[in-house]
Copies of this chain bind each other. A is one copy, B any other.
Amino acid sequence: MFGTLFQSSAVVSTALSVATLAMFATAALAMLGLTWTSERWRVPLALSGVALLASGLEYYAASNIWLAGQQLSAALRYVAWFVVQPMQVASMFFFASIAGKVPVGVFWRTLAAAILMVLARYLGDARIFNPTLGVLLSIAFWLYILGELYFGAMADAISKSTRPIRLGYFWIRLIMTIGWAIYPILHFVDVVIGTGHVAPIIVLYTIADLVNLIAVSMIVLAVAGEERF
């Protein structure tokens, strides 16, 4: 939004603008939430709020670029992935660490996997690297993160915790499994099949980002709110 007129049928513009406003609004909510949740929840809550802020800035840029030329490049999407993914993964580590001791090595390994997951594919896309190898490595790094979330020390710490924490972890992990699966699928259609960044692809990416990022942040806020007393 913000700058030019768009027709009611311009579904892409509407989707990008809704994402911009909704992400800024929920980022503000998560940050204001720091004032009413207990101190031990602040790290995962701040991380998920800051991820929404970064993503909102990306969608604000995307809205303006779309309005200027009815076109978007995949590069912008990578920019947000590079910034948002490490924060989402770190947020999970600190979430689990509230429930119980998680070795710090888990933090470094999942953080590295999150960065490499995006980097491998990016170098492939930029032809600095073999594209097929890139996509395979990306999937491997994603599966590694899921492995840690399902069978690693974080799952152990959570299993001994309170019901709200277990429930919150269950839902965030589900988002990182099902919600994130949309990205490689869309990326396959967009880049490998080669439809390019056409309107339906952009709208689907945007809905995925909206749901995934806002849900993670609001789940952390809700669990922190329940665990206040």
Residues in chain A within 8 A of chain B (CB atoms): 1-11, 13-14, 17-18, 21-22, 24-26, 28-29, 31-36, 39, 42-43, 46-47, 49-51, 53-54, 57-58, 60-62, 64-65, 68-69, 71-76, 78-80, 82-83, 87, 122, 125-128, 225
Contacts and interface: CB of A to CB of B under 8 A. Distances in A.
A13 B75 contact: yes
Contacts of A83: 18, 21-22, 25
A122 to B, nearest CB: 8
B79 A14 contact: yes
B51 A5 contact: no
A32 B32 CA distance: 10
B46 A33 contact: yes
B5 A69 contact: yes
A61 B1 contact: yes
Given A5-B69, A10-B75, A25-B83, 12 more contacts: A1-B57, A1-B62, A2-B64, A8-B74, A8-B125, A11-B126, A14-B79, A21-B57, A24-B53, A28-B31, A31-B32, A34-B36
